[in-house]
Structure 1
Amino acid sequence: MPLKPRVRKSSVALLALCAAIPAFAADLVHVYREALAYDAQYAAARATAEAGREKQPQALAGLLPTIGATGNTFWNDSTFDSKAGAATLHERNKYNSNAYSVNLTQPLFRWQNFVQYDQSKLLVMQSEANFAQAGQDLIVRVAQAYFDVLFAIENLRAVQANKTAIAQQLEQAKKNFEVGTATITDTYESQSRFDLATAQEIAADSELEVKRYALRVLIGKDPGELNRLKPKAVMEAPQPASMEPWVEAAERDSFVVQAQQAAAEAANKTIEINRAGHYPTLDVVANYGTNNGPGQFGIGEIDTTTRQVGLQLNIPLFQGGAVNSRTREAIARRDAERATLDSAKRNAALNSRQAYLGVVNGLAEVRALEAALVSSLSSLDSNRLGYEVGVRINIDVLNAENQVYVTRRDLARARFNTLLSQLKLKAAVGSLAEADLERINVLFEAP
């Protein structure tokens, strides 16, 4: 009996501890796999691709035979009156009649059906390319959201560290003023910086919450603790190290370009389909049917069986100009798709150039900011020493401290932007895959 209260207290403590633990802690690849299963945008793309794949069997049906069956049964009530001189003949018959038939049609020549089948292959290609692009977009969106959270954390830490330093300087300025070694101006300046840092902390904390929720929207649960970028992480330069091969690959291999290429070719097939409205069609038709009912005047019973096999030719002569109009419409839509294809190639080239420059210039920016951080730390040490010996004033130290935190924040942003540009460069040429995330993932470590 005495053990029960202890067990109850332990259970409560365990529940409280579990509630305090984040939903899960994951790295970049784990977050991506969670998004694969949860993200609504990707799920919609997957369903759209499944729907697009049905275009080919639908078009194939136009080349295969169609079979139909009909049947009927009727209750008949007929009256027959006949006069011959003074004699009148009145006959009333009530009977049931039944009939059924089976019909088969096998297209032999329907040009539009053959073209539609070829077109369906292009539509499936377009659907698959769009789905592949959605997969690449998901990788970029996950990485963007993941890096946004990490940068928001870095930004909040920098703001809080800056606030802590300013609070220390404010306290020191107040003491110096009390003992008469500093003016009230130093106190006012420190207080102003402290109030500003407080406002920045509130904004940074709010921004972190927003970024964490944005990541949660992608994976459906709290992201928990995320792995952080290693301080000495080394990022690779793009290979090949020239921009033009990337641009050429983007114009050729981008999934957006591939999808639009298929759409343009499918639009060209639509012209053939509409022109086929002028062409004759030839089908094999077969029919088997029976009819059961009474004979003439309801006397006896007759069973009729019909079997037919033959060819059916249909030659369109005039359809009010509808075929010509639809053909002109298809030509205009084909031209529009071709123009859209040109636009897709240009945008792919632009995206690849931007991503390539983002990587190359990002690496240079990272190196510059790393050097700037070293210089900022040295400057801060010098200003602190100068303030202690009286050759620097309080504002000099505050400015030096602020510069250190700003440089650290900018360095974190440059690193994340460079990594994101690496992914976008691969996406621009249609080669982005989970393996690319895994290569980036090794640059991170548990906090």
Structure 2
Amino acid sequence: MKRLRFALLLLLPFSLAAPAAATDLLAIYRAAQDEDALFAAARAEHRAGQEKIKQGRALLLPSLTFATNTTFNDITTDNASPFISGGNKRYNTHGYGFNLVQPLFREQNWAAYNQAELQTAIADTNFRLSRQDLILRVAQTYFDVLIAQDTVQLTGAQKSAIAEQLEQAKRNFEVGSATITDTYEAQARYDLILAQELVAANDLEVKRRALQQMLNTAVGELDALGAHFDLRPPVPEQQQAWIDIAHQNSLPVELAQAAFELAEREVERSRGGHLPTLDIVAGHTKNVQTGGNFGATTVTSKTVGLQLNMPLFEGGATQSKWREAEANREKARQELENARRTAELQTRQAYLGVATGMAQVRALQQAMKSNQSLLEASKLGQEVGVRTNLDVLNAQQQVFATRRDLLQAQYTYLLSHLRLKAAAGNLQEADLEWVNQALH
């Protein structure tokens, strides 16, 4: 039903005659929460992880078992005695029993319970990490479609401009004010842009299919960047402040820390293999024998007591498991250190991505103005004879290339903001809402 509602929402703009709003980034994200297969798998894994704590608690609680049996007996006695009559006897024996065990001291069970608590916490952290990953994947896929759309539009505009220059070169050659070289140059550029247009169209189709795979439905028009693009620095503005936040909140570091603690618990559990276990054991059994030498009998038994088990020797398996657990603990310690270093590196990279992105966007905005002025000057110079057709074509190509680079830099800047929040471990839907505001 959710999929149907979202499909109708996406197709609505094409079913009405009046213009309708395009689908925005936030709507895509909320639909992906229901439809993305990777996130659905993460959600199921999270549910499975919540059962670990219940399984660990069960090791500390009493266990009750029930057993029943029935046996057919066919016994022939050849030598009779005063106490046992000879001949053949056929009869049935059946019974049932309950057995109750309450652990009193089992070091391994307590260690397993502590491990179950950590495994549940790891499942929670993994799900939070999957939610952040979904935000980043949705934004990346969304922007991939936008840049592909922009490339198609810019390529089409560039083709129109080159076609205009080609027609002008042909007219100038016919009247003798230009050489055939100008026509050849314009024709070569036009042929090249036709090939680029095909590549851009194919790339757009691939990017749309990637978004469709995530949502499991076709997607209509998407909101693009607004005319008034707002640049804002990260808050806080100091790089070290973000690194400190990452040290405290980074989800990969949190996972590595939990994995290290889990490895420590495994060492404790393996060490517990040398210790005795003490249980309260209670039982109730009833056995019925319908025949035999002593006739029909019924035996009912009720027992309660303490049971102590002392492991003595298991072929060296206990010591081997202990050594294995200690080696895995050292492995987890080194992975934790690597996670901390990686979190710091990724935070630095994301912070520099935001800072560099801001500078790059501003530089390309200024370059766009300069290239536009160059194009206008080249056209004017061509009219008065101081610039050639090739100069105009080069200026046009520079304008479109700069425009494409500017759009790409703006998308990268927005993604860097999201990646910085993710590296610091506090990426939320509210951050996606801010990015979404830039797409109107």
Q: TM-score under structure 1 normalisation?
A: 0.91
Q: Could you tell me whether the CA contact under 8 Å between 2:92 and 2:291 is conserved in 1?
A: no
What percentage of residue pairs aligned between the two structures are identical? 49
Give 3-state SS (helix, strand or coil) of 1:346's partner.
helix
1:270 — aligned with what? 266
Note the aligned Cα RMSD (angstroms).
Answer: 2.1
1:271-350 alignment runs, 5 A limit? 271-293=267-289, 297-299=293-295, 301-350=296-345
Size of the aligned set, in residue pairs, is 426
1:96 — aligned with what? 92
Are 1:219 and 2:212 an aligned pair?
no
Give 1:228 shift: 1.1
Matched to 2:117, the amino acid is K
Give 1:249 shift: 1.7
Partners of 1:296 and 1:207 in 2: CA distance: 87
Q: Give CA-to-partner distance per residue, 1:333-356, whole Å, 9 cap, x none.
A: 111111111111111111111111
Give 3-state SS (helix, strand or coil) of 2:147's partner.
helix
Q: Give CA-to-partner distance per residue, 1:28-71, whole Å, 9 cap, x none.
A: 00000111111111111111111111111111111011111112
Partners of 1:331 and 1:352 in 2: CA distance: 32
1:61 — aligned with what? 58
Give 1:419 shift: 0.2
Assess, with a 3 A threshold, how the Cα gap between structure 1 residues 311 and 22 changes in structure 2: closer, same or farther.
farther
Are 1:361 and 2:363 an aligned pair?
no
Q: Give CA-to-partner distance per residue, 1:162-200, whole Å, 9 cap, x none.
A: 111111111111111111100111111111111111111
Give 1:297 shift: 1.6
1:414 — aligned with what? 409
Assess, with a 3 A threshold, how the Cα gap between structure 1 residues 89 and 22 changes in structure 2: closer, same or farther.
farther
2:8 — aligned with what? none
Assess, with a 3 A threshold, how the Cα gap between structure 1 residues 274 and 45 changes in structure 2: closer, same or farther.
same
Give 1:439 shift: 1.2
1:221-240 alignment runs, 5 A limit? 221-240=217-236
1:30-179 alignment runs, 5 A limit? 30-82=27-79, 90-179=86-175
Give 1:307 shift: 1.1
Q: Could you tell me whether the CA contact under 8 Å between 2:91 and 2:292 is conserved in 1?
A: no
Matched to 2:118, the amino acid is L
1:387 — aligned with what? 382
Partners of 2:31 and 2:313 in 1: CA distance: 59
Give 3-state SS (helix, strand or coil) of 1:228's partner.
coil
Give 1:298 shift: 3.6
Larger deviation: 413-422 or 316-325? 316-325
Partners of 2:154 and 2:371 in 1: CA distance: 14
Partners of 2:123 and 2:336 in 1: CA distance: 16
Q: TM-score under structure 2 normalisation?
A: 0.93
Q: Could you tell me whether the CA contact under 8 Å between 2:85 and 2:293 is conserved in 1?
A: no
Give 3-state SS (helix, strand or coil) of 1:349's partner.
helix
Are 1:371 and 2:378 an aligned pair?
no
Give 1:302 shift: 2.4
Give 1:101 shift: 1.1
Assess, with a 3 A threshold, how the Cα gap between structure 1 residues 382 and 296 changes in structure 2: closer, same or farther.
closer
After TM superposition, which residue ranges in structure 1, 4 or more long, deviate above 6 angstroms?
19-24
Give 1:19 shift: 11
Q: Could you tell me whether the CA contact under 8 Å between 1:166 and 1:398 is conserved in 2?
A: yes
